[in-house]
Amino acid sequence: MQSEFWNKRYKEEVFAYGIKANDFLMKQTFPSGSKILCLAEGEGRNGVFLAEQGHDVTCVDYSEEGVRKMAQLAEIKEVVIHPICADLNEFEFQANRWDGIVIIFGHLPTALREKVHGQFFNALKPGGKLVLEAYHKSQMDYKTGGPMTETMLYSDEELRSDFHEFEHLKITQLEREVHEGEFHFGKAAVIQVIAVK
């Protein structure tokens, strides 16, 4: 999918995935004042939530409309975030920069997924934490959101391989209710990752 697809979705006044943060992310904790990078962050619901917790949050998305909406949401919620409009293909991950990396339903094509995920370990500070939730490949049978292309959905093996450098790696595959705006709407097959450098 290209950024034009997302621009069209985010042009609407309504927030496509709502303004409440992702359920899995809301259960995670980071040390206070963490520097957190939220990738493929869309309209900013997760980044704004983390900023409300007092973290120093940078949000990246390649949709100009998404970046506009994340700035709007931060203003409504009266928090500061650092929005960046960039394609993850070109985004530069600096070494030992982040206390946290968050990527929620940031589905990428295989080669880009491997390239992007493969840089997280180096970009995190020692002790830094990765939080990821995505639809699992079996979401093809549920049809309640996410890309309906199997290669854009993730498996345990793929994520284990992407994050093999992490000593502390927890990958959980489960079925859960996902209700996030009009595009994530019901019982779904998801895969969740917590990894600590």
Ligand X SMILES: C[S@@+](CC[C@H](N)C(=O)[O-])C[C@H]1O[C@@H](n2cnc3c(N)ncnc32)[C@H](O)[C@@H]1O
- In angstroms, give the least distance from the CB of 108 to ligand X: 6
- In angstroms, give the least distance from the CB of 116 to ligand X: 8
Residue 20 neighbours by CB under 8 Å, 6+ apart:
45, 49, 180
Q: How many CA atoms lie within 13 A of 134 on its CB side?
A: 30
**Closer residue to ligand X (CB): 18 or 167:** 18
Rounded Cα distance between 13 and 10, Å, is 8
Rounded Cα distance between 102 and 25, Å, is 8
Residue 159 touches ligand X, criterion: CB under 6 A = no
Chain residue whose CB lies nearest ligand X: 42
**Closer residue to ligand X (CB): 108 or 195:** 108
**Closer residue to ligand X (CB): 2 or 32:** 2
**Closer residue to ligand X (CB): 100 or 106:** 106
Strand locations in the chain, DSSP E?
A: 35-39, 56-61, 82-85, 98-104, 124-135, 168-180, 184-196
Report the site for ligand X in 163-192 (rule: CB under 6 A). Answer: none
CB 124 within 8 A of CB 96: yes
Stretch that binds ligand X, among 50-58, 68-76, 104-112, 162-170 (CB under 6 A): 104-112
Report the site for ligand X in 30-49 (rule: CB under 6 A). Answer: 40-42, 45-46
Q: What are phi and psi of 110, to 5 degrees?
A: -50, -55
Scanning the structure block, which residue is given the tokens 């093996």? Answer: 157
CB 112 within 8 A of CB 122: no
DSSP string of 133-144, one letter each residue: EEEBGGGGGT-S
- Contact pick of 106, 134, 188, 194 for ligand X (by CB under 6 A): 106
Stretch that binds ligand X, among 56-64, 69-77, 92-100, 165-173 (CB under 6 A): 56-64
What x-and-dash track marks residues 71-90 binding ligand X by CB under 6 A? ----------------xxx-
Sites of contact with ligand X (CB under 6 A): 3, 6, 17, 22, 40-42, 45-46, 61-63, 66, 87-89, 104-106, 108
